[in-house]
Chain A
């Protein structure tokens, strides 16, 4: 089974802090994704990566950056956390563009 792990289940940070969310997949998938999930809004794509060191902006990239130095790891960075970034963050990976995405358990981030 594909396993996607995220570094934290729950995280509490203060406004202005730099926040790192880590995601690791163990199935040699090409594509990796970061979403945020908010009630009534579904999942919104922040960034995705289709290869090492390659990235593309999603629908809501403002205030976020990403890093993919190794194939199995995809990091989401909040340069200066703000209260409107309080959300559930979901990481996913997929083998290619035709197959399903596998999701991690999520990180619930609270910014105070």
Chain B
């Protein structure tokens, strides 16, 4: 079975400060990991993914994520937050042995204050 945990329902950060949105996962085999963002009344937009290779993955809008196998984590980061980054963020995982579909976390709302 595969599962994802996003331990924080909401993250608050001041504009210009670094931000981190946490994600931990559980899979049977090797993980494929994804981050998505959802703006109000919109579908999800893909930010970045880890399939294999370098543990630091860079994505859209200046976001990056670090894959940590020993801690089974894939935290989303950005060096300097913008007010426009305020949105709902979802982490998702699938393993390379089982089900084809992704399993999503419950989401973390990021609020960036001016």
Which residues of A does B touch, CB under 8 Å?
A: 4, 31, 33, 35, 40-45, 48, 50, 56, 58, 90, 92, 97-106
Does B42 contact A101, Cβ atoms closer than 8 Å? no
The answer on a CB contact under 8 Å between B46 and A41 is no
Which residues of the partner chain B approach A56 to less than 8 Å between Cβ atoms? 99-101
Please judge, given known A-B contacts A42-B90, A48-B101, whether A106 and B34 are in contact too, CB under 8 Å. no
A-B contact number at CB 8 A? 54
Bound form: Cα–Cα A97–B62 in Å: 25
Q: Which of B43, B99, B104 contacts A4 (CB 8 A)?
A: B43
Q: Which B residues, 13 to 59, have Cβ-Cβ distances below 8 Å to chain A?
A: 32, 34, 36, 41-46, 49, 51
Is there contact, CB below 8 Å, between B106 and A97?
no
- Distance in angstroms from B53 CB to nearest chain A CB is 13
Secondary structure class of chain A's binding surface, majority of residues: strand
Q: Give complex CA distance A92, B100 in Å.
A: 13
Cβ contacts under 8 Å, A92 to chain B: 44
Interface magnitude class on chain B: 20 to 34
Taking a contact as CB atoms under 8 Å apart, the answer to whether B107 and A105 are in contact is no
Q: In whole angstroms, how far apart are the Cα atoms of A97 and B30 in the complex?
A: 13
CA distance A80 to B49 in the complex (A): 38
The minimal Cβ–Cβ distance linking B71 to chain A, given in whole angstroms, is: 21
CA distance A46 to B36 in the complex (A): 19
B46 touches A48 (CB 8 A): no
From the candidates B46, B103, B105, name the one contacting A102 in the complex (CB within 8 A): B46
Shortest C-beta distance, B113 to chain A (Å), equals 22
B102 at the binding interface (Cβ < 8 Å): yes
A99-B49 Cα distance, complex, nearest whole Å: 8
Contact B100 A97, beta carbon cutoff 8 Å: yes
With A105-B42, A106-B43 as given contacts, are A40 and B101 in contact (CB-CB < 8 Å)?
A: no
Q: Is the CB of A104 within 8 A of B43?
A: yes
Pick from B9, B94, B104: contact of A97, CB under 8 Å = B94
Q: A103 is contacted by which of B32, B44, B49 (Cβ under 8 Å)?
A: B44
- Residue-wise interface mask of B (77-96) relative to A, using a CB-CB cutoff of 8 A (1 in contact, 0 not): 00000000000001010100
Closest Cβ of chain B to A15, distance in Å, is 26
